[in-house]
Amino acid sequence: MGSFATLKRICSERDGRLGLVFTLVILIFAIVGPLVSPDPNLIDVKARFAPPGAAHLLGTDNLGRDLVARTSAGTRYALALAAMIVVISSVVGSLIGVVAAVAGPRIDRVITGVFDIVNAFPPLILAFALIALYGKGPITFVLLVTVVFIPQFGRMARARAQSLRSLSFIEAERMLAVHPATIVARHYLPNVAGPIIVLASMNLPVVIAFEASLSFLGFGVQPPKSSLGTLIKDGFVSINQSWWPIIAASLVLAIATLGATLLGEALRRVIDPKTTGAR
Amino acid sequence: MAISVRNLSVDYNLSHVTAHALRDISLEIGKGEILGLVGESGSGKSTVAFALMGLLANNAKVTSGTATIGGRSYDLTRRDATAPLRGRGMAMIFQDPMLSLNPVFTVGTQLCEVLRRRLPGGDRKAHVAMAEEALAKVKLSDPKRRMGQYPHELSGGMRQRVVIAMALLSEPVLLIADEPTTALDVTVEAQIMREIVSLRDRIGCAVLLITHSLGLVTEYCDRISVLYAGERLEHGTVKQVQQQPGHPYTRMLFDCEVAIDRQRAVNVTENRFTVIPGELPDPFRRPSGCIFNGRCDVSFDACATTVPDEFAVGDAADHGARCLLLAGS
Amino acid sequence: MIKAQRTAAFIASRLVSVVLTIAGATLLLFLMMRLVPGDFASVMLGPRATPELRVQITQAMGLDRSIPEQLWLFFSRIATGDFGVDVVSNRPILDIVMDVIPNTLALAFSALALALLVGIPIGVIAALKPGSWLDSGLALLSISFITTPTLVVSVALFLVFAIGLHWLPVAGAGEPGDTIDQLRHLILPSVALALGWIGYISRLVRASLLDTLAELHVRTLRAYGVSEYRIVGLYSLKLALVPIVSILGIGLGELIGSSVVVEIIFARPGIGSLIFNSIAQRNYPIVQACVVFIVTFYIIANLMVDMINALLDPRIAAGRG
């Protein structure tokens, strides 16, 4: 199905349209915001905690920094991190999952066992422990959070690949002694891609919220960089002085996750109508 | 007549098109009688049952029809017209006993639910005793233990006995059995049919047996109605219809049945099985003329244009068929 | 007899896998801590690392022994509930953890109860009239509940009650011994934690109930005149709840996980805030003990969920689920 046809199908229902609108609003805000507002790190002590007005549409924070600029920069950074986490964990997860499905029962048992063990940790707690032990740099952060999300993708890819294994054309190639890597590349990965893309799109909002929680608690994005989570944290710290900072960032976060979820579910209904929605 | 159905028509609305599932079906069943409603799959037999019960799918609509049950008349075009009768005047036995009981409640609970409906306010202990008795009546071994068992612990035949016990407990005027043995082993078929007959003997209800098997009809039924593509082509007593089928379709149906005692050729390829060539007509566009025209082996020009009325077959008043060949006689 | 044996075999097999998973998770935790680059004693102690403390912790954790020996020490101590003594407060770590666990459990279970009490009715109402305006309105509401991050919900509740209304306390867990006060302190954090799960459960109940209502046994009950209330509310709901209960185990784990955020915002002592503070102070023995507790709790919750499901659906215990 072409991407235009997919888009048309998504727009044909209310939830899909809403999701698309919310997502576009957030994207435009993230992209255009910095162009029309001052430097997000520009400190103006005289304008500390300014309420929304002509100079600062959403007001300013404790250092007089413009909230439109800061929130939009934070949104951009948060989205970039979340996208990276989802892409890496879906690619790595798919590869591991397909390997588990085709490499024989022993390797399969080891891989599913590791997935089970990783899943035994509540996600946020596992990310905490990993980040606390192994550091907080942006790249480390992305890789560590990836660990938390890989098992989901791995399980999905494994289940899908297992259902393919008995198909006649794959059996035929196995009989013809086509190299396993070739079979994986030619048949498994393309067939696993559909459900993985759906799962990835449904996981995007989860990861956005996850990153925000980690950053809020100080385990994610570190200053001077800021994401929605750190903005909420800053707002929370200065809540007795002004409640504009926290509202702006929270609202953007809520709209982003709602939009991405609605869009992801619409995409799932178009690509993979049989499976029922999960979070 | 204990039960009669007049001019029952049902349409199915499938996105943008309407399929006519039943057209002007009428049935009569006397008290204590068993009427066999036969037809191929897709002929609309089960639709008759669900229209009577008021359990048609949401996209189905009764466009005409009245039913007289237990002396009262019901307008079937009204959804839920017969709702008051469910579990009180009408009972039903379903095709697939593996799926027709709730898997997470015990047999006893589900039987008592029927009594809750029929004898509201009765005490639980009495209901349990009655349910146990009903299980014994349908010859399920060890009824006390069965009460506490879940459906998955019983075989298909045993589950069907449980459903028959439900029917027994509701003491219906009309029992509808929708292909009650199709999903079961052949060896169980006779036992289940015997339980249905003995239920009829116990409460003297009318039975509508829906089946595709003429064998069952000739063995257990008093009367027969032949359904084809939503229309009733012939009706009469089993004996009349068997001896003198009035409609070519009925005759061909009987020819299709392979008698067990028929002589067989040593070379199996020489054994001839009769089949009716052709397929059911398009449910969305009824052909003009006789609905069976096209598959009929004795049709003539008028069959393509004239919809045949019902004509008496032979001298019997209660044996009729819709075939133009009978028009002159 | 056979039935009881099958159920026993089912429970036994689940117990074995539970023990294996806890062992695996503990091993993973051990590896995670030992794979940290650098001298482990310094890592454990961070900025507090004086030579005396370093010797103390090296001896306490057997860091001078071989890795297999250390592993054995680690496992055998955890198995006996010996997590050592906190170097900061000199209190047994087990006591420190046990002090805060009731708060977190109260929070997680009240959130779960709230999610079920509100989520199930919403799902049932939506399933009664699928496709109606009520259904689609509830769907949008549920999705908004699901997608709004716990962080945002907590912040919103905090704002409304700390700055706007002053109906409910927004900080702490209440006076010890004063049950009413503790319950009042429980309300906002529970709501914050439960909201997403209300949406999630209502969606699942709706989908599961619609599937169940399409099954043939529902037709049997209808044919025997059983009222629609009993068909939906009793016969179908029990069957429809089986898949819901399965996810509650995961739910409890996630609730404990997200309780960190809620406990921080509402300044509530609990295992989440304990982990948070311990990580901030680089007090890893406490973190380790907390994680062992959480993982064990999570896995046992999943086991209990399986047991409840076996009660709800007899086919599961019979190995036919």
Q: What is the residue extent of each domain of chain B?
A: 3-89+171-326
Tell me the angle at which helices A244-271 and A3-11 cross, rounded to the nearest 10 degrees: 110
Q: What is the mean pLDDT of chain A?
A: 81
Residues in Cβ contact with C216 at an 8 Å cutoff, skipping those fewer than 6 apart: B94, B96, B99, B100
In this prediction, residues C129-138 reach a mean pLDDT of 88
Which run of H or E residues covers position B27?
strand B17-29
Q: Closest-CA residue in chain C for B150?
A: C314
| Range name among A21-35, B119-133, B164-178 with the lowest pLDDT average | A21-35
Domain boundaries, chain A: 3-39+57-275
* Maximum average pLDDT range among A247-256, B196-205, C277-286: B196-205
In this prediction, residues A251-277 reach a mean pLDDT of 78
In this prediction, residues B65-85 reach a mean pLDDT of 91
- Asked if C223 lies within 8 A of B87 by C-beta distance, the reply is yes
Residues in Cβ contact with A177 at an 8 Å cutoff, skipping those fewer than 6 apart: none
* Maximum average pLDDT range among B25-39, B250-264, C154-168: B25-39
- Residues A132-159 as b/e (b if ≥16 CB within 10 A, e otherwise) read bbbeeeeeebbbbbbebbbbbbbbbbbe
| Range name among B127-131, B279-283, C41-45, C243-247 with the lowest pLDDT average | C41-45
Share of chain A above pLDDT 70, in %: 87
> Higher confidence at residue C282 or residue B232?
B232
In this prediction, residues A108-122 reach a mean pLDDT of 86
> Higher confidence at residue B314 or residue A36?
B314
Q: Is the pLDDT of residue C147 over 60?
A: yes
Cβ proximity of A126 and A119 under 8 Å: no
Q: Is the pLDDT of residue B204 over 80?
A: yes
- Asked if C217 lies within 8 A of B83 by C-beta distance, the reply is no
- Asked if C226 lies within 8 A of B87 by C-beta distance, the reply is yes
Cβ proximity of B170 and B118 under 8 Å: yes
Q: Is B208 left (phi over 0), alpha (psi -120 to 50) or beta?
A: beta
Which of C224, C314, C318 minimises the CB distance to B91?
C224
Query: Domain A3-39+57-275: which topology?
Result: MetI-like fold (1.10.3720)
Residue positions counted in chain A: 279
**Strands (DSSP E) found in chain C:** none
- Asked if C238 lies within 8 A of B105 by C-beta distance, the reply is yes
Read off the amino acid at residue B109: T
CA distance, residue B91 to nearest chain C CA (Å) = 6
Mutate to test the interface with B, among C2, C224, C235, C236 (most CBs of B within 10 A): C224
d(CA A135, CA C35): 13
Cβ neighbours, 10 Å, residue C106: 19
Pairing assessment for the beta strands B223-228 and B231-237 based on DSSP bridges: antiparallel
Cα–Cα nearest to A186, from A198, A202, A200, A172: A172
pLDDT tens digits for C84-122?
777 778 888 888 888 888 888 889 889 999 999 999 999
Cβ neighbours, 10 Å, residue A216: 31
Read off the amino acid at residue B147: M
Residues in Cβ contact with A80 at an 8 Å cutoff, skipping those fewer than 6 apart: none
Share of chain A above pLDDT 90, in %: 9
d(CA B10, CA B21): 5
In this prediction, residues C148-173 reach a mean pLDDT of 79
- Asked if A128 lies within 8 A of C276 by C-beta distance, the reply is yes
Cα–Cα nearest to B48, from B65, B34, B31: B65
> Higher confidence at residue C45 or residue C246?
C246
ipTM value: 0.87
Mutate to test the interface with A, among C152, C159, C263, C287 (most CBs of A within 10 A): C152
pLDDT of residue C266: 86
Q: Kindly report the CATH class assigned to B3-89+171-326.
A: alpha beta
* Maximum average pLDDT range among A2-6, A195-199, B26-30: B26-30
CA distance, residue A188 to nearest chain C CA (Å) = 29
In this prediction, residues C190-213 reach a mean pLDDT of 91
pLDDT of residue C1: 45
- Asked if C25 lies within 8 A of A117 by C-beta distance, the reply is yes
Q: Closest-CA residue in chain C for A114?
A: C24
In this prediction, residues C239-267 reach a mean pLDDT of 83
Residues in Cβ contact with C315 at an 8 Å cutoff, skipping those fewer than 6 apart: B103, B104, B150, B152, C321
| pTM attached to this predicted model | 0.80
Mutate to test the interface with C, among A21, A22, A133 (most CBs of C within 10 A): A133
- Asked if C239 lies within 8 A of B102 by C-beta distance, the reply is yes
- Asked if A247 lies within 8 A of C159 by C-beta distance, the reply is yes
pLDDT of residue A278: 39
pLDDT tens digits for A44-60?
667 677 677 666 666 77
Cα–Cα nearest to A226, from A67, A37, A35: A67
pLDDT of residue C89: 80
Is the bond preceding A224 in cis, omega lying within 30 degrees of 0?
Answer: yes
Q: Is the pLDDT of residue B329 over 60?
A: no
d(CA B225, CA A96): 63
pLDDT of residue B128: 94
Q: Closest-CA residue in chain C for A121?
A: C295
- Asked if A250 lies within 8 A of C156 by C-beta distance, the reply is yes
| Range name among A125-129, B325-329, C143-147 with the lowest pLDDT average | B325-329
Three-class SS state of B22:
strand
pLDDT of residue A279: 38
Which of A216, A246, A260 minimises the CB distance to C261?
A216
pLDDT of residue C113: 92
DSSP A45: G
Cα–Cα nearest to C303, from C10, C16, C19, C18: C18
Cα–Cα nearest to C260, from A129, A195, A247, B217: A129
Q: Is the pLDDT of residue C320 over 60?
A: no
CA distance, residue C223 to nearest chain B CA (Å) = 6
pLDDT of residue A276: 45
- Residues C54-83 as b/e (b if ≥16 CB within 10 A, e otherwise) read beebbebbebeeeeeebbebbeeebeeeeb
In this prediction, residues B195-202 reach a mean pLDDT of 93
pLDDT of residue B73: 92
Q: What is the mean pLDDT of chain C?
A: 82
Q: Is the pLDDT of residue A170 over 80?
A: no
Residue with tokens 């089946």: B211
Cβ proximity of B102 and C239 under 8 Å: yes
d(CA B245, CA C305): 63
Cβ proximity of B47 and B63 under 8 Å: no
Q: Is the pLDDT of residue B177 over 90?
A: yes
Residue with tokens 């294996």: C20
| Range name among A76-90, A167-181, A228-242, C218-232 with the lowest pLDDT average | A167-181
**Token pair for B309:** 């009325």
